[in-house]
């Protein structure tokens, strides 16, 4: 009896290991699939690719679901595997197909992706996940990660220097210093962070404005000259405060 239980346990572990390896291979295979030449959509950009409300637990889950349809049609290009003789199924249900028609895959021509309202706690494999669904992810200008479970701003965001709009509101970011990373994005004009724990920090808005001077909109409101002046005053006060509270050197003992 014990041997039977041990055998079932071994099979279960082997199955789990196989499933995990499969999921890891899936986004890598899709990321390497090459777009067909299509002059009708060349150099065109469609609407944001919308993966909101898809119950994503990992970024690579976007390989297994279709984006939500909107009023504007997606611009997409069919892609092919690099190795046409690759017998690894891209989806589990491919094993059960009775017909001989190959599954069609597409990459979307867009400079924006919406990943909000999911359950993303980390951005592991973010780059390969975007590569799997976007025709040119390096040109992306808008990323929506709002309403997720993120606790920090991942450095992977900095791999997209053309980024202009970044939504991070309604997450769990609690360290204001995380914002410092975003100063490295030269074209970032719009940022949202409200609904995170850092929103309650003293000087929250002033800190962000001073840290990312290229911003024009923050938390859906335009940054005015008065906002920048206030941020400058806040910064000077913080410098004075930090100087005042520095520990004085102990007096030399007699």
DSSP 82-101: S-TT----SSGGGGG--S-P
The residue whose two tokens read 């919308």 is 50
Q: What whole-number distance in Å separates Cα of residue 142 and Cα of residue 167?
A: 8
Q: What is the pLDDT of residues 191-232, one digit of tens each?
A: 999 999 999 999 999 999 999 999 999 999 999 999 999 999
What predicted TM-score, i.e. pTM, was given to this entire model? 0.79
Task: Dihedral sign for Cα 137, 140, 104, 119, please.
Answer: positive
pLDDT at site 15: 39
Q: What whole-number distance in Å separates Cα of residue 233 and Cα of residue 254?
A: 43
In the predicted model, is pLDDT for residue 245 greater than 70?
no
Q: What is the pLDDT of residues 124-177, one digit of tens each?
A: 999 999 999 999 999 999 999 999 999 999 999 999 999 999 999 999 999 999
What confidence category does residue 243 fall into, taking pLDDT thresholds of 50, 70 and 90? Answer: confident
> Does residue 1 or residue 43 have the better pLDDT?
43
Residue 219: both structure tokens together: 């938390």
pLDDT at site 19: 39
pLDDT at site 13: 39
Q: What residues form DSSP beta bridges with 108? A: 76, 134
Mapping DSSP onto H, E and C, the string for 18-64 reads HHHHHHHHHHHHHHHCEECCCCCCCCCCECCEECCCCCCCCHHHHHC
In the predicted model, is pLDDT for residue 86 greater than 80?
no
Other beta carbons within 10 angstroms of residue 250's beta carbon come to 6
pLDDT at site 78: 87
Q: What is the pLDDT of residues 28-75, one digit of tens each?
A: 666 666 555 554 555 578 999 999 999 999 999 998 899 999 999 999
> Does residue 67 or residue 3 have the better pLDDT?
67
Residue 20: both structure tokens together: 């995990």
pLDDT at site 213: 96
> Does residue 102 or residue 63 have the better pLDDT?
63
pLDDT at site 6: 43
Q: What whole-number distance in Å separates Cα of residue 168 and Cα of residue 147?
A: 8
Q: What whole-number distance in Å separates Cα of residue 136 and Cα of residue 49?
A: 13
């Amino acid at each position: 009896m014990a041997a039977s239980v041990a055998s079932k346990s071994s099979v279960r572990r082997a199955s789990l290991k196989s499933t995990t390896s499969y999921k890891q291979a899936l986004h890598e295979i899709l990321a390497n699939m090459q777009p067909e030449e299509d002059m009708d959509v060349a150099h065109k950009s469609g609407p944001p690719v919308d993966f909101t409300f898809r119950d994503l637990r990992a970024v690579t889950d976007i390989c297994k679901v279709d984006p939500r349809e909107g009023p504007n049609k997606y611009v997409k290009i069919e892609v092919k595997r690099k190795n046409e003789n690759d017998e690894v199924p891209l989806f589990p249900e491919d094993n059960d197909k009775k017909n001989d028609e190959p599954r069609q895959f597409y990459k979307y021509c867009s400079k924006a992706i919406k990943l909000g309202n999911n359950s993303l706690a980390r951005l592991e494999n973010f780059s390969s996940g975007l590569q799997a669904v976007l025709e040119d992810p390096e040109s992306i200008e808008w990323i929506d990660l709002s309403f997720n479970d993120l606790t920090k701003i991942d450095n992977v965001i900095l791999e997209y220097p053309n980024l202009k709009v970044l939504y991070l509101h309604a997450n769990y970011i609690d360290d204001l210093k995380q914002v410092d990373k975003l100063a490295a994005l030269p074209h970032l004009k719009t940022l949202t962070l409200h609904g995170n724990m850092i929103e309650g920090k003293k000087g929250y808005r002033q800190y962000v404005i001073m840290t990312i001077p290229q911003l024009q909109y923050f938390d859906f409101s335009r940054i005015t000259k008065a906002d920048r002046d206030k941020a400058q005053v806040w910064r000077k006060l913080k410098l004075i405060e930090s100087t005042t509270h520095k520990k004085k050197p102990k007096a030399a003992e007699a």
